Structure 1
C-alpha cells in the first residue's frame, strides 16, 4: 500500500495492473462502437432538450461559449485517452489518481465520483417524469410521479443485472434512437433556418465577455461524462487503443449535436419566443413542419435519451467502487462481479438513488433536491482535477522520455488545458455548491480511516 504521509521516491507499486478475471458467460467486452455510444450517451442526457432556451437570454454569443467549452472537453478527452493508454484498468480517474498520488487521493476520486453518479441518477429519473407526463399523465399526484421515477431508475438497473452484453446492447440501441430526432432538428433545421429568428448577438445588455462567462456557467456541465470509456476500460476490448478513440469520437459527436441542435433551434424559433420556451425542440419541430405533434415526439425522444443515459450511468456508478474495493479502498462487497457487472455496486447505488427520489417527492420542496444536484457538479470535477494532475505528474517525472519533444509538449499543453477546464467547472458550480460539496467529499474520510485501519490489522 502507498505511504500517503511521505512523497514516494519510486513510482507507487500498489496500483500495479491486476490480472484480468476470467470472462463469464454473459460477459462481452465493448468494442469501439459501444464504447463510443457509452461516452455519447452519458454526455447527452435530457438536458439538450432544454439547453437552447436556457442560453437564449444571452443571445447567439452563447455559441461562442459552446465552442470554448468544446475545446476544453476535447482536451480532457485526449488526456483521458493518454492515461488509459498508460493504465487501461477499470476505474478511470480513480486508478490514475491512486497510482500517481497514493491511496487517499484514489479514495477521494472514487468517493466523489460515486456520489456524483447516484445523485445524478436520481435527478435524471425525476427529470424524465416531466417528459413522461406529456405522454401519460403521472404528475397529478406525488406518489404516481414518484413511482414512475422509481420505475425509470430500476429498468436500467435490471439490464445491468442481466450482464454487460445487455448493457452494451441497450446503450447502443438507445443512443441510435435518441439521435434520430436530435439530428432531425440539428440537420433538418438548417433547411428551415431564418436569420431573422436569431435575435441580437449579445442579448444580455452587458459585455460580450460577461455574456460568454454567464452562458458558459449554464453549459459547463453539458460535457460531464467524457470519462465514461476510461471508467469502464476493463470492459473495453483493446482498451489502450479503443478507450482514447471512443472518448474523443464520443465527445466530438456530442459537441456536434449540441452545437448544431442549438444553432438550428436559434434559427427556426423566434428569439422572443425561445426565451420563454419550455420545450424548444418541440417548438422547432412545429415551426419546421407545422402541427402540434412536436411535443409528443420530443417527449418520447427525451425519455429514450434519459433511459439510455441512466443505463450507462448505472454501470459507471458501480465500476469505480468496484476498482476501489479490489484495492481495499471501498467495502469488499463492491468487488463482487456477476456476468461482467459489479452487481453489489449497482444494487447499492440504485437503492440510494431511489431513497433520494422518494425523499424529493415526500419533502415537498424541490430546493433541497436542487442543491444536492448542484453539489454533484462539484464532486464530478474532483476526479477530473486529480486525473489531469496525475498526467502532469507523470510528465514532470520524465516518464515520457522516449517520446519525442513535440509529443511531450503537446501532452503537457493538453494536460494544462484540461486542468484549467476542470477548475472552470468548479467555479461554475457556485460558492454554495462547492461549500456543500466539500462537506460531502470529506464525509468519506471516516470511511477511509476505517478501511485503512482494517488493512493495517490484516497486514499485521
Structure 2
C-alpha cells in the first residue's frame, strides 16, 4: 500500500501528456520500457534493502557499497529529483482543479501542506489506503468511460515516433514508477524487512504497471495521441470526449486527491532526507534543526517548500517531470551499481538485472527532453562541486586536534 500510494498519484494523471507529445501512441512501448528498467531497479533495491534495512535507501547503499561520495550523490539526486516531483504534483493539482491558474493553485497547495507538516501532521497509513482506493476507483471509471465511448479512435499499430521519441517517452513515464523507492526506505519500520521488502516492491510495481497500461490504452483509444499531447490534464480530456463527459468533475477531484496525497508524502520524504544529509554535514547544518515541541525538521520543511515554489515559478509541467526523472534515474543508476557489489553470499540479484538497470537508467536520462537533461546535469554537477569544496576545506584530524 505504501508503494502504490507513492506510485499511483500525480504521475498517472499527468505523465501521459508529455509522453504522447514525444512518441504518440508509441508511448505504450515507452511504458513497457520504463517498467522494464523499473523492474531491474526494484530488484536491485529490494536485495540491497534486505542487506541494509536501515532508513535512507540508496543514500545508504551507495555509501556502504561504493563509498561516501556515491552515497552523497545518490542523496543529492534524490532531493533534487523528488523536489521537482513535488513541483510537478503541485502543478498537476492546478491543471485539474483550476487550469487557468495552474501555478498559483500549485503554490497554494505547497504552502498549505508545508504548514500542515510544520504542525506535525503526517499522512497516516489509513489515509494512504483511502487515497489509493479513491484513485483506483476514479481510474477504473476513466477506463470504462473510454472503452465504452462511441467515438473511440483506432490506435496506430505502427507508431512513427522513432526510437528516440519512444525512449524519451519511457524516461518521462519513469516519473510515474519512482514511488517504490519509498518502500526501500522503510527498512527500520517493518517486521522482517529481509522478507517483506523484496516481496512488496515487485508486487506494487506489477499492480501499478497493469493500472497504467489499462489507463494509457483506454485514453489513446478514446481521443488519440494528439489530443493527449495537447493538454496538461490528459485524463480529464479523455473523459470529456466520451459519453461520460458529465463525470469529468469526478476525474478532476480524483486527480487532486491523488496528487495532494502524493505531494504530502513526498514533502515529508524530501525534508527527512534533507535532515539526514544536513546531520551528516552534506548540507548546511541549519537544515538539521528540529522543532523541540512538534519534533519536525522545520528548517528543512521550509527550505524544501521554498524550492518547490521556485520550481513551480520557472518550470512548466513537462519540464518538471523531465527534471524529476533525470534526478531519480541517477539515483537508481547508483542503486544498480551498488547491487553489483553484493557478494555471492549476500543473495545478490541475477547479474544481468543490475547491469541492464544501470544501462537503462543512463540511456533514459540521456534521451529526456534536452532542457530537462541539461538542467538536471547542471544541478548534479553543482552537487559534485559542493562535495569537493567541502572535502578541500574540511579540517583534517590533525588540524582539529
1:4 corresponds to which residue?
A: none
2:7·2:176 contact (CA, 8 Å) conserved in 1?
A: no
- Tell me the TM-score normalised to structure 2 length: 0.83
Give the 3 Å change call, closer, same or farther, for CA 69–117 of structure 1 in structure 2.
closer
Q: Distance in 1 between matches of 2:330 and 2:21?
A: 30
Between Structure 1 and Structure 2, whose CA radius of gyration is higher? 1
Gaps of 5+ in 1: 1-32, 140-144, 361-365
2:36 corresponds to which residue?
A: 71
1:290-310 deviation line (CA, Å, top 9, x unaligned): 4x3233222111111110110
Classify the secondary structure of the residue corresponding to 1:233. coil
Classify the secondary structure of the residue corresponding to 1:91. coil
**1:201 offset after TM fit, Å?**
0.8
Matches within 5 A, 1:214-225: 215-225=169-179
Q: Distance in 2 between matches of 1:275 and 1:356?
A: 22
Matches within 5 A, 1:259-408: 259-269=213-223, 279-286=233-240, 289-290=243-244, 292-335=245-288, 342-357=297-312, 359-360=313-314, 374-394=322-342, 399-401=343-345
2:17·2:231 contact (CA, 8 Å) conserved in 1?
A: no
Give the 3 Å change call, closer, same or farther, for CA 416–295 of structure 1 in structure 2.
same
**1:276 offset after TM fit, Å?**
5.2
1:265-320 deviation line (CA, Å, top 9, x unaligned): 23344677666566543354456544x32332221111111101101211221232
Classify the secondary structure of the residue corresponding to 1:224. helix
**1:55 offset after TM fit, Å?**
2.4
**1:427 offset after TM fit, Å?**
1.6
1:315·1:341 contact (CA, 8 Å) conserved in 2?
A: no
Matched, 1:185 2:129: no
Give the 3 Å change call, closer, same or farther, for CA 56–129 of structure 1 in structure 2.
closer
Q: Distance in 2 between matches of 1:37 and 1:273?
A: 28
1:164-190 deviation line (CA, Å, top 9, x unaligned): 76444443332222221012223x358
Q: Distance in 1 between matches of 2:196 and 2:121?
A: 17
Q: Distance in 2 between matches of 1:449 and 1:402?
A: 32
Q: Distance in 2 between matches of 1:124 and 1:52?
A: 14
Matches within 5 A, 1:71-220: 71-133=36-98, 139=101, 147-163=104-120, 166-186=123-143, 188-189=144-145, 192=148, 197-204=153-160, 209=163, 212-213=166-167, 215-220=169-174
Q: Distance in 2 between matches of 1:302 and 1:235?
A: 29
1:175·1:308 contact (CA, 8 Å) conserved in 2?
A: no
Aligned-pair Cα RMSD in Å:
3.5
1:164·1:341 contact (CA, 8 Å) conserved in 2?
A: no
Q: Distance in 1 between matches of 2:296 and 2:336?
A: 27
1:189·1:267 contact (CA, 8 Å) conserved in 2?
A: no
